[in-house]
Amino acid sequence: MSASSEKNKTIWWKLMHFPTLGMTGIFLLLQIIPLIYPMNIPIGVSTSTQQFYDYMYSLPEGSVVLWQSQLIMFNYGDLAPLSAATLKLLWNSPNHLKTIIIFQDPSAPIVWDNMKKTYGLTTLPPGRTYGVDYVEMGYYVGGELGWARVCDEFQAVYPTDRFGVKDSTLPIVANIKSAKDWAMVITTNSWSGLTDYMVRHAYGRYNLPTMILPSGMGAVGAMAYYPRVSPAFPIGAGAGAMLEKLQGYSSLGTYFGSAFSLMSFYTVVLCLINIVSDYMERREKK
């Protein structure tokens, strides 16, 4: 492009043709900065996330919650903050909720361990004991039929926890025979088909509240179940940040939330600049 033709380009044209590499670089900075320098960007709490928080604390003292996790690498960025904040909520519940974790994918136990390490949840809080208040039972095989059998014959599917410890020595599961012995089911996943068969058996056959914690992309398929089947509906990483706020602490969920907020604001600004620039460019050419 010649120097004369470059001079003929208006400021509006230049704004509309801002280099893609430059815009991408700004996006990356907006993701990285909140992780290096935590920012206190105000976070609102959605009604459905507040309902989740309130509902968990309304359960009877010592209720047993069965949590089926499909936290895998595919959905980790969206579901890890929500899983971590929910786990902390259960571990510190004033109504002393007891949590049984099972996994729907063979890689999920490894990813779960990584989530706990990343979010500083490798040790139970004071007053909570593994095997009494919390246990990890491992991966079940068989998709919908496997889940149906978990509901009907829990100890037949899980004679030990994922570390080989027998049920008879784990007070939290020693008397768990079927879904009748749970207060509710939680499912964390990004696949609507998985949500459907969880609902069919836990809610459909045992009338158990089935709390769905979907990823952002999985929310549309699961939304039909809220609020009758799923009493609340916290969604993805955003809900993880909201749960951190409700519990009075900040972690990666809040920092990721700040990054998403900055990127969303930046996207809106870019759209407005493009709209105004296009209008002004056409106006000057008239």
**pLDDT tens profile 106-134:** 999 999 999 999 999 999 999 999 999 99
Q: pLDDT at position 286, please?
A: 65
Decide which of 220 and 42 is more confident: 220
Residue that the structure tokens 């699961």 belong to: 222
Q: pLDDT at position 66, please?
A: 98
Could you give the CA distance from residue 248 to residue 225 in angstroms, rounded to a whole number?
Answer: 29
Asked if pLDDT for residue 1 goes beyond 70, the answer is: no
Cβ atoms of 137 and 173 within 8 Å: the answer is yes
Could you give the CA distance from residue 144 to residue 199 in angstroms, rounded to a whole number?
Answer: 11
Q: What is the mean pLDDT of residues 265-284?
A: 82
Cα 191 to Cα 36, 52, 113, 205, 286: the distances in Å are 32, 20, 21, 21, 52
Nearest to 38 by CA among 216, 243, 257, 191: 257
Question: What secondary structure, in 3-state letters, does 76-116 show?
Answer: HHHHHHHHHHHHHHHHCCCCCCEEEEEECCCCHHHHHHHHH
Cβ atoms of 195 and 230 within 8 Å: the answer is no
Residues contacting 144, CB < 8 A, separation 6+: 197, 200, 201
Q: pLDDT at position 8, please?
A: 62
3-state DSSP call for residue 184? strand
Q: pLDDT at position 22, please?
A: 80
Amino acid type, 14: K
Decide which of 221 and 286 is more confident: 221
Asked if pLDDT for residue 4 goes beyond 50, the answer is: no
For 213, list phi and psi in degrees, rounded to 5: -115, 85
**pLDDT tens profile 190-249:** 988 899 999 999 999 999 999 999 998 889 889 999 999 999 999 998 899 999 999 999
**pLDDT tens profile 20-29:** 888 888 877 7
Q: How far apart are the first and last CA of the chain?
A: 24
